[in-house]
Structure 1
Amino acid sequence: MVSPSPTSESTPAQGRAETPIAFIQAIATAYAQRSLRVDDALKKVQIEPKLLKKNSARVTAMQMELISGIAMQELDDEGLGWFSRRLPWGSYGMLVRASLTSPSLGVALARWCRHHGLLTDDIHLSLIERNGVASLQLDETRDLGVFREFCVVSVLRNALGVACWLTDSRIPLTATHLRFAPPAHADSYRVLFDGPTHFNAPVNCLQFDAGYLALPVRRDEAALQQMLQRALLLTVRPYRRDRLLVEKVRQTLAQHPEHSRNADDLAAWLNMSARTLHRQLQEEGASLQQLKDSVREQRARALLLRTNKPLKQVAAEVGFSNEKSFIRAFKTWTGKAPETFRQSA
């Protein structure tokens, strides 16, 4: 949950001003509680101090990102005053690292929730799955005071952003539930969260299709180091890819090859029409043929490297009717003939 200091090339005021000034007011309050002035931080991100007194004002997503990063460094608190004790610089990076080795998003989010409790006990995060719906729930264990809205919104959006980053997917929300009353800037929530937002709810939570919990974690330590340079982008900019169907198709092709002979069989197995299958895959930036080739290539590589099976048998197990077609396809995939690949490994 870190961010770089703005440079002379930054243009934080560009973009649509849709982030409520209430969040900047909360940051100013955090400065005041530490007997520090927020004026220099405001100046760096081109926010006029007088806007703090105008409750209807809005700032851009970039301004919000940059001033949050500046405040976290100057206050040495990635919680920005929300909690009864500071979260030192690097706290949220530690949470991401703890989830990075998880085999699936469900495991990663469960770890995130559990480890967040080590940072603070002022809130409690939990992941609940029920009737095909996943809920990322935030319970307040103490009065968060003037930081309540800022804290709840930021923690939930950060967790969702990390989930999207870990899986390289856009995870659309089916609903957002918040315990507090609708603020004066409630219209901003159409930008802050996907789907409908319900205020005065029994709990604070984000809800989404539980199918996303099965997505594999796709990031590594190198990607983490790059992400931590501007992690707040995860909370203020929508992730553009939704790979849920891609993963379902990939898993089906790998685990149930008998249902992948043609699009009609595969679509029937997935309870949709072939036309819908092709359309949704296209929307996710993939095609059925690409996924078939990807799964076949992975299977072929594994058989060539881990077994001594002859090429004719490998070709048949991968799904080719003859050895020549398999050799031609493998050369297209890897630039090498199968035997050359096996010998050079």
Structure 2
Amino acid sequence: MPNVNPPLQPQVDTAGPRAPRAVTPIAFVRAMCLALERQGQAPEPLLRQAQIAPSDLDRSEARINALQMEVFSGLAMRALDDEALGWFERPLPWGSYGMLARASLSSPTLGVALRRWCRHHGLLTRDITLGVDTADGTCRIVLTEYRPPGGDGRLREFCCVSVLRNIHGLACWLVDSRMPLLGASFAFAAPPHADVYPLLFDGPASFDAAETALRFDARYLDLPLKRDEAAMNQMLSRALAIQVRPYRRDRLLMQRVRQVLLAQPQQAHNAQDLAATLNTSTRTLHRQLRDEGTTLQALKDSVRRELAMALLQRSSRPVKQVAEASGFQNEKSFIRAFKGWTGKTPGEWRERS
């Protein structure tokens, strides 16, 4: 079965033809080398294939790029036949994470998918458990350790970062949406390369915390899955892409805009006031809607049309009242817009519906 590689990279700079930036700490490479050496395998041949200089292992400030990490982690997984790369007491054979992803694909919403993924992960290993918790509009994905990853703890950071990046990347891919994090916390001390964590996790990171967890807006849990079996097969052929893909569009933002417009159709809803209501900037509002393939005006038109048609079909209100309730300033502008939508006047459309 195809593999879901652990998330080992921050986002790749894809703005131009330049090579990916070298931002991944060498500590993650050292962790994989340790796993290989424990199994009596020399890491040097794999390092060379990934174009990683063995001398860099002795330089704590050394960094590698996304492609190097993808190649080296894939080689190490194959060599060890362990997708967990030595984190757990027993290895996870090739295809284990792909099995978890497939088991979640039939879920109706992201919340169901994440809970399935966490529950099924517990069938693979008891060294850690994962859980989904919601409170006060915030979702937490909590990683609890029952045995030091790697046995003696030297692989602990690599394990925690990888597992959380994996589930966050898969969640974004399943709903085809950016899911900005409210924060990431880790129950270990800040590593020397703590400065890379803002790239690994899209949000503030804290260390020596009470728990290892990710936090994000709980409304993402209600989003329906956007992927099918064909998309899953394609993704699993090179699964690291779901960890490094710079998702820009945010389906939750578009839904929140629609909710505000539907709840208050008679208000003007200029971009500045709407952005303030949604706790974002006007620039971000316009940019994210554009990345989603829509505009604020298009959403306004869509909501007005939806409201108008529902009122015309389900009530006997006069056209003038329907126009007002749908957010139009006067009946004339409503009729003009409605004819643009349907080719008919509101009265004609009502008679034929």
When normalised by structure 2's length, the TM-score is 0.75
**Relative to 1, partners in 2 of residues 1:297 and 1:142: Cα closer, same or farther, differing over 3 Å?**
farther
CA distance in 2, matches of 1:222, 1:207: 30
Over aligned residues, Cα RMSD in angstroms?
Answer: 3.7
Residue 99 of structure 1 corresponds to: 104
Q: 2:286 aligns with which of 282, 287, 290?
A: 282
Q: 1:134 aligns with which of 130, 139, 146?
A: 139
Q: How does 1:1-345 map to 2 (within 5 A)?
A: 1-2=3-4, 14-144=19-149, 145-250=153-258, 257=262, 259-260=264-265, 263-264=268-269, 272=276, 279-284=283-288, 285=290, 286-291=294-299, 329=341
**Relative to 1, partners in 2 of residues 1:67 and 1:97: Cα closer, same or farther, differing over 3 Å?**
same
Q: What's the secondary structure of 2:143's corresponding residue? A: strand
Query: 1:229 offset after TM fit, Å?
Result: 1.8
Q: What's the secondary structure of 2:24's corresponding residue? A: strand
Query: 1:292 offset after TM fit, Å?
Result: 5.2
**Relative to 1, partners in 2 of residues 1:2 and 1:298: Cα closer, same or farther, differing over 3 Å?**
farther
1:215 maps to a residue whose letter is L
Query: 1:272 offset after TM fit, Å?
Result: 4.6
- For structure 1, the residue ranges without an aligned partner over 5 or more in a row are 4-12, 301-306, 308-315, 332-337, 339-345
Query: 1:207 offset after TM fit, Å?
Result: 1.1
Identity level (%): 51
Q: What's the secondary structure of 1:156's corresponding residue? A: helix
Asked if the contact 2:26–2:62 (Cα under 8 Å) also holds between the matched residues in 1, the reply is yes
1:14 maps to a residue whose letter is A
**Relative to 1, partners in 2 of residues 1:326 and 1:199: Cα closer, same or farther, differing over 3 Å?**
same
**Relative to 1, partners in 2 of residues 1:127 and 1:37: Cα closer, same or farther, differing over 3 Å?**
same
**Relative to 1, partners in 2 of residues 1:196 and 1:99: Cα closer, same or farther, differing over 3 Å?**
same
Query: 1:143 offset after TM fit, Å?
Result: 1.6
Query: 1:60 offset after TM fit, Å?
Result: 0.9
- For structure 2, the residue ranges without an aligned partner over 5 or more in a row are 6-17, 314-321, 344-348
Deviation string 1:112-147 (CA, Å, 9 cap, x unpaired) is 111111111110001111112211100001122211
Query: 1:200 offset after TM fit, Å?
Result: 0.7
When normalised by structure 1's length, the TM-score is 0.77
CA distance in 2, matches of 1:75, 1:294: 54
2:287 maps to a residue whose letter is E
Asked if the contact 2:128–2:145 (Cα under 8 Å) also holds between the matched residues in 1, the reply is yes
1:235 maps to a residue whose letter is Q
1:179 maps to a residue whose letter is A
Asked if the contact 2:110–2:224 (Cα under 8 Å) also holds between the matched residues in 1, the reply is yes
CA distance in 1, matches of 2:137, 2:182: 12
CA distance in 2, matches of 1:103, 1:22: 38
Q: What's the secondary structure of 1:264's corresponding residue? A: coil
CA distance in 2, matches of 1:288, 1:249: 8
Asked if the contact 2:275–2:282 (Cα under 8 Å) also holds between the matched residues in 1, the reply is no
CA distance in 2, matches of 1:272, 1:14: 38
Deviation string 1:245-277 (CA, Å, 9 cap, x unpaired) is 202234566xxx563356439998x89559979
Asked if the contact 1:278–1:288 (Cα under 8 Å) also holds between the matched residues in 2, the reply is no
**Relative to 1, partners in 2 of residues 1:274 and 1:202: Cα closer, same or farther, differing over 3 Å?**
closer
Query: 1:149 offset after TM fit, Å?
Result: 0.6
CA distance in 2, matches of 1:267, 1:118: 49
Aligned length: 313
Asked if the contact 1:2–1:69 (Cα under 8 Å) also holds between the matched residues in 2, the reply is no
Q: What's the secondary structure of 1:17's corresponding residue? A: coil
Query: 1:222 offset after TM fit, Å?
Result: 1.4
2:139 maps to a residue whose letter is A
Q: Highest relative contact order (Cα 8 Å, sep 6+), 1 or 2?
A: 2
**Relative to 1, partners in 2 of residues 1:263 and 1:120: Cα closer, same or farther, differing over 3 Å?**
farther
**Relative to 1, partners in 2 of residues 1:31 and 1:131: Cα closer, same or farther, differing over 3 Å?**
same
Deviation string 1:282-320 (CA, Å, 9 cap, x unpaired) is 2212313433566789999xxxxxx9xxxxxxxx9xx79
CA distance in 2, matches of 1:186, 1:127: 25
**Relative to 1, partners in 2 of residues 1:232 and 1:330: Cα closer, same or farther, differing over 3 Å?**
farther
Q: What's the secondary structure of 2:23's corresponding residue? A: strand
1:85 maps to a residue whose letter is R
Q: What's the secondary structure of 1:174's corresponding residue? A: strand
